Chains A and B, each alone.
Chain A
Amino acid sequence: MNREQFLHWLNQVYSTREAEIGCDRLQEVLPTFVDLEVTGQPPPKELAEEVRSHLAHCPDCAEEYAGLLALAQLEAQGHLPEIEDSLSGFDTLEPA
């Protein structure tokens, strides 16, 4: 590990809680957590702690949380991009 990886890993070790929810449980509660965040309502304390602890220790779930939050925010604002808008960032021609 380099120094940055080591310090991040060390923090992960020391921030370990006795009971942490797994990825399956996180995926179950994530939509509710994200909706509360989008509407600016504070989540129940236990839910918030469980979710934040898991996300701090799971890069894959953290990545998906960020994606779901972004999508839910767009959808709530009525600004979910149309298909053409999302595709416009990609080339029209397939590479040879």
Chain B
Amino acid sequence: MIPRSNEAWVLALKQPGEAQSEALHDLHDFLVRAALVYLSQRRSELAHWGQQAVYDLAEDLAQDVVLEIRDSLDSFRGEAKFTTWACRFVINRAASELRRQRYRNLSLDQLGEEEPAIFQSLLADQGTGEPEHLAEQHDYLALLQHIIETELNERQRAAIVGVHRLGLSMDEVAEMLGLNRNALYKLLHDARQKIKARLLARHLTEGDILAAFRS
């Protein structure tokens, strides 16, 4: 692949002709290599995949991304290297694809069922802490449970259960809630703001709560 400046990439990709064909070809090959580097670094998530399947996935990703890049050329502002900008697309798709394979296909109802137990394992854990600390821990968890139940809406509670208790990816929880990742982030940000505001209104700092949980 011949090295190209940002301007050379955009010019070649925009103008139909031999230069465009060459640029599309080089871009495709570069994206296949980039996708394979990303996938090979996540070999453990592709434990049962053979070389052909991995290569085919990289090819599919590269093809989709070439089209996406061609349609997004006007949004490239040249602040980053064109190759870094292009890689961002293929990594985003590759990462989403790997996450899709980990989907546990839970329903929203199932998330709702987990909700009352959000701090249950912590409340049940008597540990070896001192009684005052344990009582304090219990109080803080009860307070947080109360804030979550009264301040947040159903989707926010489900999102917290999904992401923070069950460890699901943002993409998976977003799909369960019929959102995209961006909208889920904003939903969770709003939830965090509400919880933080209620805690600070009670003059409770993070340090106050952490002190109770230090064994």
A positions within 8 Å CB-CB of B: 1-3, 5-14, 16, 18, 20, 22-24, 27-28, 30-32, 34-35, 38, 54, 57-61, 63-64, 67-68, 70-72, 74-75, 80-83, 86-87, 89-95
Query: Are B122 and A6 neighbours in the complex by a CB distance under 8 Å?
Result: yes
Query: Are B169 and A64 neighbours in the complex by a CB distance under 8 Å?
Result: no
Query: Are B84 and A13 neighbours in the complex by a CB distance under 8 Å?
Result: no
With both beta carbons as reference points, the residue of chain A lying nearest to B52 in the complex is identified as A94
Query: Are A90 and B51 neighbours in the complex by a CB distance under 8 Å?
Result: yes
Residues of chain B within 8 A (CB-CB) of A71 are 34, 37-38, 84, 87, 91
Residues of B152-208 whose CB lies within 8 A of A: 160, 163-165, 167, 169-171, 181-182, 185-186, 188-189, 192-193, 195-196, 199, 205-206
Question: Is the contact region of chain B dominated by helix, strand, or loop, or is it mixed?
Answer: helix
B positions within 8 Å CB-CB of A: 32-34, 36-41, 43, 46, 48-55, 75, 79-81, 83-85, 87-88, 91-92, 94-95, 99, 118-119, 121-122, 125, 160, 163-165, 167, 169-171, 181-182, 185-186, 188-189, 192-193, 195-196, 199, 205-206, 209-210, 213
